Every structure is written in C-alpha cells, then in structure tokens.
Structure 1
C-alpha cells in the first residue's frame, strides 16, 4: 500500500477515463444509427452488416471492461488492474482502426469518430503507463 496520506492515483487519467466512458457510449449509439442508415440506404451485404454489428457489441464489452479496470486500478492504486487495462487498450485500438478504415462502407462521420477514439486510446496508453510506473515504484500490489 502507498505511504499514509500519499496519493499516487492520477487525476488526469481519471478525467480522461470519465470522458472516454461518455464518449464510448455516444460512439456506440451513433454507430448503431449509422449502421441503420447504411443498412437501409446502401447495398450493404447482410453478412457484413451482421459482422460489423457483432464487432461493435464486442467493442462495447471490451471498452466497458477496460475502462472499469483502469478506473479501479487508478483509484485503488493497484498495478494489476491497470496493467490488464493497458493490455486491453491494444485490441480496443485495433477495433477503432477497423471502424476507421476496414469496414465495408466508411462514412466521414465514422472516420472522425474513430479518430477521436484512437486519440483517447493513445492518451490513455500514455497516462496509464505513467501511472503504472508510479504504482510499480511502491508496494501497490
């Protein structure tokens, strides 16, 4: 545990995690509406639409778990949940890249939303690494 009265948790990381939680929920809802739009107006193959929606649900679960672990690790000053969240950042970023470049139809709105999502992932990666090194320098297990 940290020394008495000494706080090692990062307020900037916590603010970023809070904002990313709201942004991820907004991103999910907007993507559902965009898929509805694309499914109705574009010749979107049904198999591809189902795959993209399934990946969106997987992304939502992964992101919720990642943000929960990062918040828990940061506020409780524990290295293990923060390290697991740090490892989960890479699959979350890969899914954001998929929605940025690799899906069947990519709208400009999706490009902007996914770029913002990647910015959140990058900043969280940086701040989680700093917090993890801070926690690792003490007995935070």
Structure 2
C-alpha cells in the first residue's frame, strides 16, 4: 500500500495513508515522502550505539562532576574565577553532548563535528581542574582523570562515526 496524493505540487497536498491506519485524507507537507534529506532507508542505520551509550553516561557523569566540584569549591573557598570556569564548563559540556547525540541519532556530520570541536575545550577545562589548580584534592584528581578518559573515548568514537557517515555519503 502506497501513498496516494492529490493537490498542487507546489503547496501542501492531501494524502491518504491506509497503512498508517488513517480513516481519511489529511494534510501532509509537500515533501512527503521523505526526500534525500530525510532519514536513510531502514537497512542503513549508521549511528554508533557505543557512542550514544557513552554520551548518556557522560551526561550523568558530568552532572555528578559539576556538583562535586561545586562542593569542593565550597570546601576549599576558591576564587570566583574557578567557579565561573566551572559554570562555563557546564555550558560547553551540555552543548557538546546535545550536538553529539543529535548528530549521532540523526546521522548528520555537522552536529557531530561541532561536538567533536567542543570536546577539546571541555578536555582543556578538565585538565585545568586536574593539573593547574592551586590545591587539588585526591577526589578531584580521580574525577578529572575519569572525565578525560570519557573525552578521549568520545573523540575516538566520534572520529570513527564521522568517517562512517562520510564514507556512506559518497555512494
């Protein structure tokens, strides 16, 4: 059962999709069925499941890292600059994970590339909290090392996923 349409090819059309269980005609955008810009065919899913799992785990870990760093700042009574950098880190990390997840699930190279580019400032801030603070607690050292491990694994998987996306675009 296919899609039957009627109406102008320049505007919205009425479409009837009996396989979707619809009782009658309804408005469907003019670009129905999906064109080359739509999702790939069902047999060609290129998203990386391991990258998506890593993004999910890193999201929870980043929230935990942020809260524990905030509490250690209260314990150490650090400068305002470190606190501002922590909130900047949080903003970069949220944006990076959002773009990485969207790029991976939608199989788009641009959001995944933005996520890859934002990984480096995130790793630089994590290395600052690991190495360049005046006083680093052992808890911060362990958490910073785990965070840098997450960043390194994500860089590797993002590069592999981007190469998979680009190799499939050439065919």
TM-score by length of 1: 0.90
More helix per residue? 1
- Which residue in 2 is equivalent to 1:135? 165
- Which residue in 2 is equivalent to 1:36? 74
Among 114, 124, 146, the alignment partner of 1:116 is 146
Partner Cα distance (2:57, 2:156) in 1: 16
Kindly tell me: are residues 85 and 14 of structure 1, through their superposed partners in 2, closer, same or farther at Cα, counting changes over 3 Å? same
Partner Cα distance (1:71, 1:139) in 2: 20
Task: Give a deviation string over 1:19-55, Cα, whole Å, max 9, x none.
Answer: 000000000000010001111xxxx5xxxx1010000
Kindly name which structure, 1 or 2, has the bigger radius of gyration based on alpha carbons. Answer: 2
* Unmatched segments (≥5 aa) in structure 1: none
- Which residue in 1 is equivalent to 2:102? 72
Aligned residues: 132
Partner Cα distance (2:114, 2:41) in 1: 26
TM-score by length of 2: 0.75
Q: CA RMSD in A?
A: 1.3
Partner Cα distance (1:121, 1:33) in 2: 23
* Unmatched segments (≥5 aa) in structure 2: 1-35
Partner Cα distance (2:168, 2:91) in 1: 31
Higher relative contact order (Cα pairs below 8 Å, separated by 6+ residues):
1
Displaced runs of 4 or more, over 3 A: none
- Which residue in 1 is equivalent to 2:41? 4
More strand per residue? 2
- Specify the SS of the correspondent of 2:107: coil
Matches within 5 A, 1:42-121: 44=78, 49-121=79-151
C-alpha deviation, 1:3, in angstroms: 4.5
- Which residue in 2 is equivalent to 1:20? 58
